[in-house]
Structures are given as structure tokens and as C-alpha cells.
Amino acid sequence: MNILLCPLSSPGYLYPSIAIGLELRRRGHRVSVLGPAAAEPLLAEAGLPLLATERYGGRRSFDVRRWNREAPGQYQAIRRAARDVQADLLVTSVLCHGALFAAETLDVPVVVIGLTAHLWAYAAGDEAEPDWPASRAWRTRELLRFYNEAREQVGLPARSATGAGYPLTGAALLLRGDPCLEYPGAVLPERVHHVGPCAWEPAADPAELDDVLDRLDRVGKPVVYVHLGRIFDGTSPWPRLNAAFTDGPFQAVVELGRSQDPRPAPGADLVVVRKPWMGPLIDRACLVLTTGTSAPVLNALLRGRPLGLSPDGSEQWLLGEACVRAGVAMYVSNDPGRDPIGTLESLQRNGGLRARAVEVGHRLAAADGGSRAADVILQVVSGPFTRAGATAR
């Protein structure tokens, strides 16, 4: 079978696709990855062939920062690449609407790789869930609005929702978390499956890793790993970070991720990095602070590290609430006047939080996400599938 992976291009979307692609290739399928030319070293390390988006007219179309403006470019690039490799199946990312349209017009199934927890309406059982800061119904309605606006741009008629989240799920939606991160008693839509983390990242460059670890060893304080992710329109985290790691008992490695404008204070015990890997640095840390995006949350839990969360937008609020409810995290204020050092000390001393993080991490590791994802994908292909926006055939 010929499978085209066509995820969004940032690591949080590309890496899980690689994990799934490797398992599908191990099972004897031909797997190709549509991605930017800059991803060639990553794909070469993984041993998967790259189809450069630039070749297919999608130079910027798979940038997650532009997800709600680039569906037409995604659509055209994916159609061209799928025809080149004679794809029998597409595997894409949540928010990559162009892949849903391409699958529909090519008449092939598409499987969507989701985030850690389900973000849209449940099938049932969420009646008591608080709406703060935004309800699932609102999220579903707004994403369907973007979806239908994009359909109009590529010349397809609008679709209404049939069941919770449909047609955004494709033939199957793969969640990378654990059922304990869903609202208690909620029932997922039938096409939504928990598969586990689908963990993959490139190997750390030994010299780069040694440089960071040497700097941490020279300071000698307990290490906190900080992953900023994307900062939306919220308060800058730098005043709080500078207050927490200046003249205190901790030091930090701060991964900038997609954030901009780092402002570490002189004298703060902060090592600021931008790396394509995080696992070895989380291994060195006792705690993880993050805004609450999927990649750092899953990497922290896989290593049994408790989380301090400061959500700022997008999935961060819902995933943050799920992690706090599951007992693996506590909220951390972005206000530097709220005793940030004391907050870190409370996190470190919280044995229950740490024990629960270890427990959930063991469950995630045991899931073998790549294998479970491949199982779902092959079930989609072997039986009648539901095209994005169509009825079962």
C-alpha cells in the first residue's frame, strides 16, 4: 500500500507522523512524507523519503502559524504529491484542512493525527463539564466555520456536522494521550481513538547536548525544563522566569519553541535554547514548566515529570485543565509577584503529583502509539471507510 504523510511542518505535528510512518514502513508499506525541504535531514535520519512541498507549490502552506489561511495551497500540493506516489491513503494533522479536501476529491481515505486530548464536542457525557475558558461546542463550531470557508476557496460545497466533530475527523482521528485526560464519563465520537504518544524526535547532537549539560553542571542547582511553545496575546513569561531563576534554588533550560523575543535577565540561572529535541533535557530536569501544548506535556509525562502549566491559548487551556484534573499538573501564575520560587518549591515537594505523573507516564509508554495508530490506519483501509465530508461507501 502507498501511504502519503502530509502533516503540518512544525515538530509537534511532523514528529508523530514520522513515528507512525516508521511503523507502517516496518509492516511493509511504502511511506512518503510531504514536507518542507528544510526537513530533509530529519527525514533522512528517520529513513523516510521526502517530497518537498516547494516542488508541489506548497512552500508556506504547511506552516502551522498559517493553518487557517493555507488550505488551498495544501489542497493542491497534496493532490499533486498523492498522484505522484499513487497514494492509497493520506495521513495528516489536525488543522490541515487541505488534506481532507484532497482525500475527498481523490476518493481515498484520510486519517487525522490529533493532539493529546479531544478538543471538540464529545458524543455524550460532557453535560457537566465547565465551559471555561471556551466550550467544546464553540471550538467545534468555529473550526467547522474555518473548514467551510476553506472549502469555498477550493470550489467545494459546504458541509454540515454529522455527529460530534465530523467531518473534521476524516476516517479516523488519533489522539496521542490517555483516556484519563478526557472529561470523566465522556464518550468519544466513534471515529476517535486513543493511540498513545507516537513519540519520535531526532537524536540530540552530542556536542550540543554536552554544551548544555556542562553549563547546568557548573551551576549545580536542580534543573527545571521550560518549554514556552507559542505565546499568543497573553502576558510575557520572561518577568516571571527571571524572578523564579534569579538568586533561587533552581536553574532552568528554556526551550523557545515557536515563541519569540527571549529576555533573560543578566545573572538569571537560565540556559536559553532552540533545539529540535527535548527528551535528553527533560531527563536532566526534575520539573517541566510549559504553556500546555502536546509535545512538552507528553514528553514530560513519558519521563514521569510533574508539570507546572501557564496556558495562554489554543489547546493549552483544555489540555491544562485535563492535566490538572488528572493530578499530573498544577497551574502556575504568570505574575512574577506571586512568589514564583515558592511555587517551584511546592511543585518539587508534591509527592502525589510526581507519583501520578509516573503512573500516567507508564500508561502512555505502554500504549505503543505508533503500533496502535498503524492498527487503526490499516483497519480503515481494510474495511468501508468514510471520506471526509461524505457518507460511508
Whichever domain contains 296, its CATH number is: 3.40.50.2000
392 part of a folded domain: no
User: What is the pLDDT at residue 8?
Assistant: 96
Distance CA 60, CA 310 (A): 30
Q: 225 with 332, same domain?
A: yes
CA dihedral 260, 94, 143, 258 (to 10 degrees): 0
Q: What are phi and psi of 391, to 5 degrees?
A: -105, 160
| Domain boundaries, position 165 | 2-196+368-382
Read off the pLDDT of residues 295-341 as tens digits, 9 standing for 90 and up: 999 999 999 999 999 988 778 889 999 999 999 999 998 888 889 99
Q: 337 with 375, same domain?
A: no
Q: 140 with 116, same domain?
A: yes
Q: 228 with 128, same domain?
A: no
CA 222 to chain centre: 27
Q: 256 with 357, same domain?
A: yes
Q: 216 with 187, same domain?
A: no
Q: 146 with 255, same domain?
A: no
155 part of a folded domain: yes
CA 393 to chain centre: 31
Q: What's at 18, amino acid-wise?
A: I
- Closest residue by Cα to residue 100 from 389, 326, 314, 302: 389
Indicate the pLDDT class of residue 392, thresholds 50, 70 and 90.
very low
Instruction: Work out how many domains the chain is built from and give that number.
Output: 2
Q: 214 with 285, same domain?
A: yes
Q: What's at 370, amino acid-wise?
A: G
- The DSSP bridge partners found for residue 35 are 52
Q: Is the pLDDT of residue 393 over 80?
A: no
Long-range CB pairs of 9-14, under 8 A, 24+ apart, other chains included: 9/35, 9/36, 9/39, 9/53, 9/62, 9/63, 9/64, 10/63, 10/64, 10/258, 11/201, 11/276, 11/295, 12/64, 12/293, 12/294, 12/295, 13/64, 13/93, 13/96, 13/113, 14/39, 14/42
Across 205-229, average pLDDT: 96
Q: Is the pLDDT of residue 350 over 80?
A: yes
Are 29 and 23 in contact by the 8 Å Cβ rule? The answer is no
201 part of a folded domain: no
Q: 192 with 277, same domain?
A: no
Report the chain's C-alpha Rg in angstroms.
21
Q: 146 with 216, same domain?
A: no
Lowest-confidence region among 5-9, 169-173, 290-294, 387-391: 387-391
Q: 92 with 115, same domain?
A: yes
Read off the pLDDT of residues 20-47 as tens digits, 9 standing for 90 and up: 999 999 999 999 999 999 999 999 999 9
Read off the pLDDT of residues 55-113 as tens digits, 9 standing for 90 and up: 999 888 999 888 888 999 999 999 999 999 999 999 999 999 999 999 999 999 999 99
User: What is the pLDDT at residue 200?
Assistant: 97
Q: In what order do the strands lie in the sheet with 251-255?
A: 270-273, 251-255, 223-227, 287-290, 307-309, 329-331
282 part of a folded domain: yes
User: Rounded to 5 degrees, what angle do the CA atoms 58, 63, 69 make?
Assistant: 80
Q: Is the pLDDT of residue 389 over 50?
A: no
User: What percent of the chain stands above pLDDT 70?
Assistant: 95
Across 130-140, average pLDDT: 80
390 part of a folded domain: no
User: What is the pLDDT at residue 390?
Assistant: 38
Residues in the chain: 393
Distance CA 212, CA 225 (A): 12
Task: Transcribe 316-334 into DSSP letters.
Answer: HHHHHHHHHHTTSEEE--S
User: What is the pLDDT at residue 314?
Assistant: 74
On average, the pLDDT of the chain sits at: 92
Read off the pLDDT of residues 147-198 as tens digits, 9 standing for 90 and up: 999 999 999 999 887 655 679 999 999 999 999 999 999 999 999 999 999 9
How many angstroms separate the most distant Cα atoms in the chain? 65
217 part of a folded domain: yes
Q: What is the pTM assigned to this prediction?
A: 0.93
- For residue 301, count other CB atoms closer than 10 A to its CB: 31
Q: Is the pLDDT of residue 386 over 60?
A: no
Q: 336 with 289, same domain?
A: yes
User: What percent of the chain stands above pLDDT 90?
Assistant: 79
68 part of a folded domain: yes
Distance CA 198, CA 359 (A): 18
388 part of a folded domain: no
